[in-house]
Every structure is written in structure tokens, then in C-alpha cells.
Amino acid sequence: MNKAFKDYYDAIEVDEELFEKEISHKKRYYQYGIIALSFIMIFVSLQLFERSASQFGIMAFQDESYCPISKSKQTLDYYLLYQDITQSDDVNVKQIESDFIHRYVKGNPPFIDSYLTYNDDQSILYGYVTTSYFTIHLQDENVSKIRIHNTTEDRIKIINGKKTYFDDITLSFKDYQKYQQSNNSLKVIWIPDSLAKYQNGDGDYSSITDSLIFEVIYKDKTSDIFTIDIHFNEKGQMTVSKRKGKIKNIQKAKDELETYSQLKNHELYLAIKDILPQAIIDELSIRGYIYQSNQFVQIKNDKDNPTLRLDFEFDDHHKLMSYVSKEYGFVGDMQVSVVKDPVSLIHTFQTIFFDCQQDLQQTTLPSRYEGGDYIAYRDQDYVYVVQQEKSMIVRCMKLEENE
């Protein structure tokens, strides 16, 4: 039957040239389809990338606009003032501040912040003027809270809405979002308290450094951590750069402060017990609180207004990267019955945190400790600062590779 059906029709003659043209047209339409689809996929990918990139960023307000802080150093309109007034009979602070501002601020900027004060013996007038500040660009409903803090004894001022905080704050995402699009949005300003002890005979500010930590904590207990490294050029103008911490699960971290005494037999508790004066251990055992988040551990003697605060930073392998005792008053007033040898203190510190003892050589003090009862030593990896009359290591910081 199939044979009969086939034989029923004459052979159909096909115009081969026309057939080739039709195939060619079909191929071209197919190619057009692929091209169009590719453009659509690229557009969607770009949109997704832009949306992802816009979720979070550390920004600087500079030149009347916001710019993202990158890994490369960026210069901000922030300037230090340091003036020796021992030879001045009549000091007009307001006039000095006005002259200082007019030297660096031109026109009528939308934001300006300045501050001048004296050191303890009123021999030095120091401070800053800035038309820049740090802030965050964040649009992510999965965020639980935002924590901002610094890592050395210099201070930071944090403004959100009509409230001003200092040094360490944890904001709920709701509180941040409330003022996000207003003139009262989040602003973070660095305060150079270390200039009170700075010896600026050569007029060079390049040894002054600090770091700010911006931590975004998500509802799933993971977090993004960004460190803003602050440096100054010789003339006292700020430069900044950003580095990102590794995102880690923080199930073992404490979202809320817990008492220091609850850490008994914990490795860090035992370490601190062996490296700090007994007066500090006694104070923390009674009034101490501890906050831990990822690589950062903070111990203090009051939740909101501490006079004693110890900050530790660890790397991803739990090795100590830095430690600092903040100068909030307790250590300065502390009485020590036995003054210990600084080298012996550092060797104990090395043994506990690094499981070794390295040779030490005396080195130049970081500028913020100059003029006080401090001495500095270094090994091949770290610099240690000891407050001699208190028999206490107040700073340990890892050396840069080229130092």
C-alpha cells in the first residue's frame, strides 16, 4: 500500500537554488535569535551584578558626593592640626580653629566637622577639620544589625539620626534604614586622640595609623567584615583603603555580651590571666563583659561606659593579629605592687599566644605612645609596647611585610 501511494504521484521537482536561500534565511534567523538571547542574558547578568553590588558598600562623603572606598589608597578632605603653644602667652583657641578651617575648607560645603582641644598639661593644641565622613550603603532585608568599632586608642564619633555615639556601636538594620535617605543618615568620623601624646618636632604625620571595622551581621548569623585602614601623609591629610574579612559562620560567637567570669577555663581567659596585672583580672572577674564576633574579641568592665577595654583580633587560623588596651582611665589609676621586667613580660606573652620565645630588640615607640612611661620592643613578626610602671603590655601589632 505504501508503494502504491508513493507511485501515485509524479516526482516533484524542486528549485535547488530557492531551497538553499530558504535554508540560509532560516540559519540567519536562528543566529539573530542567539544574538538577541545573548544580549538579554548579558543585560540580566549586569542587572543582577549591579543589584548584588549595590547591596552593601563602605562609602566616603567627599566633594559633595558619595564614593566607594576601594583597596587602593584614596585621599579624603580630612586634616590634622598639631600646634605647640608653650611659647604663646595668649592663646585664642577660637581664632586658631577659625584660621585652621579657612586654610583647608573652601566655599560652603554641605558638611563640616572640626574639633580642637588641649593635651593634659595644655602645652599642645590638637584636633582636626573635615568635610568628609564614612558611611554605609546597604539595601538588604536579610541584615540583622550593623556593628562599627575601631581597633586602637583613637576614637570615632558615630552619628545616626539625632543620636551621637562614640567608639563602638551596634545598630539594628531598622535604625540604620530609618535615616538612610535623610540629612541625618549614618556618619562616622575619626577623632585623633593620640595626638595628645604625639611628638611632632619634624612636622611629619605619616606614622599615625588606625583602623575602623564595619561589620554587617545577617539574620542567618553570617557576616561581612570590612576594615578601613587610615593613614596620613606628611602634611596630615588622611588617606584610606579597604580590605575585606572572610565571611564565616559565627554560631560560636556571642550576639549579646556575656560576663567575663563565665569564661573560666576558656583558653582566652587563661591567657589573659597570665599576661595582665592582678588588678585587671580582679576588675574583670567582678564587672567584666566579653563580646566576640568572628575574629574580634572585646573585653570591658561596663556595657556602655567602660573605663577598661581590651581588644583582640585573630586571623582565620586563630592566631593573634593585634591586641590593644584602650586608654579609658582604669589602667592609668591602677596600682601595681611589683614592677616586672618588660622583656620578661613580652616573653610570657609570646609563649602564651605564639607558643615560642623570639629574640627582642628595642625599637621606636609608635607616635601615640611617645612622651609617656612606655617602651617598645620588636621581634621578627610583632611590635610590643609596655607601660613600664604598670607592668603591662598595652599593645601588640603585627609588622607589615616590608618593615
User: pLDDT of 191-243, one tens digit each?
Assistant: 988 777 676 555 678 878 888 888 888 888 777 778 888 989 888 899 999 88
Element (H, E) at 178: helix 173-178
Question: Within this chain, do residues 118 and 184 fall inside the same structural domain, yes or no?
Answer: yes
Residue 385's SS3 state is: strand
Of 234-248, 362-376, 387-401, the least confident: 234-248
Is the confidence at residue 188, as pLDDT, over 90?
yes
**Percentage of the residues of the chain whose pLDDT score is greater than 90:** 18
Residue 263: pLDDT band with limits 50, 70, 90: low
65 in a domain, yes or no?
yes
Question: Within this chain, do residues 157 and 233 fall inside the same structural domain, yes or no?
Answer: yes
d(CA 211, CA 198): 18
Is the confidence at residue 19, as pLDDT, over 60?
no
DSSP at 402: T
pTM of the predicted structure, to 2 decimals? 0.56
Residue 124 near residue 96 (C-beta atoms within 8 A): no
Boundary-marking domain end, from 179, 210, 244: 244
In DSSP terms, 130 is beta-bridged to 78, 113
Residue 29: pLDDT band with limits 50, 70, 90: low
Phi, psi of 318 (to 5 degrees): 70, 20
Is the confidence at residue 134, as pLDDT, over 90?
yes
Give the count of domains, the chain. Answer: 3
Distance from CA of residue 333 to its chain's centroid?
A: 29
Which residues, including other chains, have CB under 8 Å from residue 241's CB and lie 6 or more apart? 69, 70, 71, 72, 73, 74, 228, 229, 231
Residue 345: pLDDT band with limits 50, 70, 90: very high
Question: Within this chain, do residues 82 and 186 fall inside the same structural domain, yes or no?
Answer: yes
Question: Within this chain, do residues 174 and 285 fall inside the same structural domain, yes or no?
Answer: no
252 in a domain, yes or no?
no
Question: Within this chain, do residues 87 and 235 fall inside the same structural domain, yes or no?
Answer: yes
Question: Within this chain, do residues 29 and 121 fall inside the same structural domain, yes or no?
Answer: no
d(CA 49, CA 181): 23
4 in a domain, yes or no?
no
Single out the residue of 199, 398, 393, 242 nearest to residue 310, CA to CA: 393
Q: Which of 291-295, 301-305, 325-329 tops mean pLDDT? A: 325-329
In Å, how far are 35, 36, 40, 47, 54 from 43, measured between CA atoms?
Answer: 12, 11, 5, 6, 16
Question: Within this chain, do residues 193 and 240 fall inside the same structural domain, yes or no?
Answer: yes
Residue 275's SS3 state is: helix
Please name the amino acid found at residue 229.
D
Mean pLDDT of the region 346-360: 89
Strands (DSSP E) along 294-381, which ranges?
Answer: 296-300, 309-314, 320-325, 361-363, 374-378
Of 140-144, 314-318, 363-367, the least confident: 314-318
Question: Within this chain, do residues 229 and 357 fall inside the same structural domain, yes or no?
Answer: no
Question: Within this chain, do residues 204 and 84 fall inside the same structural domain, yes or no?
Answer: yes
Residue 38: pLDDT band with limits 50, 70, 90: low
Distance from CA of residue 266 to its chain's centroid?
A: 27
Pick the residue with more confidence: 349 or 124? 349
For 353, the domain range is 258-398
